Amino acid sequence: MDPFKGDCLLYYRNATGNLNQGTINLKSQLMNITYSSTSQISVKEAIDLYVRSTLSERRPIHSHQAFENMFKHANLIVSAWAGDKLVGVARTLTDFSYVAYLSDLAVDAQYQRLGIGKRLIEDTKLNLEAGCMLVLLAAPKAREYYGPLGFEQHPSAWTLKKTL
């Protein structure tokens, strides 16, 4: 098993209920990944993905209403699916002409480093007008990810958190 070539350990139950172990090559499964900007994503699917992607560390996963609003009010959502399993999402707030804020890029940890995040960004850009700027705030673990994709680091981004 070579995790750098996409091999993953897999546990599954056979027809008689016995637990079996095997490997699966995720790269070979990439042909089965489908991308959509029209798929409906349930709150449960979204929260589950954010947990599997580690983005849950910085998102309100314990508030069903917050997640419902996050997806209801985003005006561009591109998703990645392995069959009926949500494995990636790019959630964007945009005017489609001048600027698009890529507020979330989440990819299931088991599917990372396979090009899914890059493809979600590319598909997001395809839904924007030519010249529309894509901006984001990188998660601490993803700071090095965006430069090679053509993003330029901006020295004067500011945030203001709501106080209760």
Number of domains forming the structure of the chain: 1
Do the domain assignments include residue 91? yes
**Domain range holding 136?**
31-149
Arithmetic mean of pLDDT, 66-70: 91
H or E element: which one contains 92? strand 85-94
CATH label of the domain that carries residue 132:
3.40.630.30
What span, in angstroms and rounded, lies between the C-alpha atoms of 128 and 163? 33
Residue 34 bridge partners (DSSP):
81
Tens of pLDDT along 16-63? 666 666 665 555 455 689 999 999 999 999 999 989 998 777 888 888
Q: How confident is the model at residue 161 (pLDDT cuts 50, 70, 90)?
A: confident
What local confidence, expressed as pLDDT, does residue 61 receive? 82
Do the domain assignments include residue 139? yes
pLDDT at 82 over 90: yes
Do the domain assignments include residue 103? yes
Arithmetic mean of pLDDT, 116-132: 95
Tens of pLDDT along 86-112? 999 999 999 999 999 999 999 999 999
Do the domain assignments include residue 143? yes
Mean model confidence pLDDT for the chain: 84
pLDDT at 71 over 60: yes
Do the domain assignments include residue 59? yes
CA distances from 36 to 45, 60, 80, 87, 90 (A): 15, 24, 7, 12, 10
Tens of pLDDT along 143-159? 788 888 888 888 888 87
What local confidence, expressed as pLDDT, does residue 88 receive? 97
Q: Between 73 and 21, where is the model more confident?
A: 73
Do the domain assignments include residue 20? no
Do the domain assignments include residue 5? no
Do the domain assignments include residue 164? no
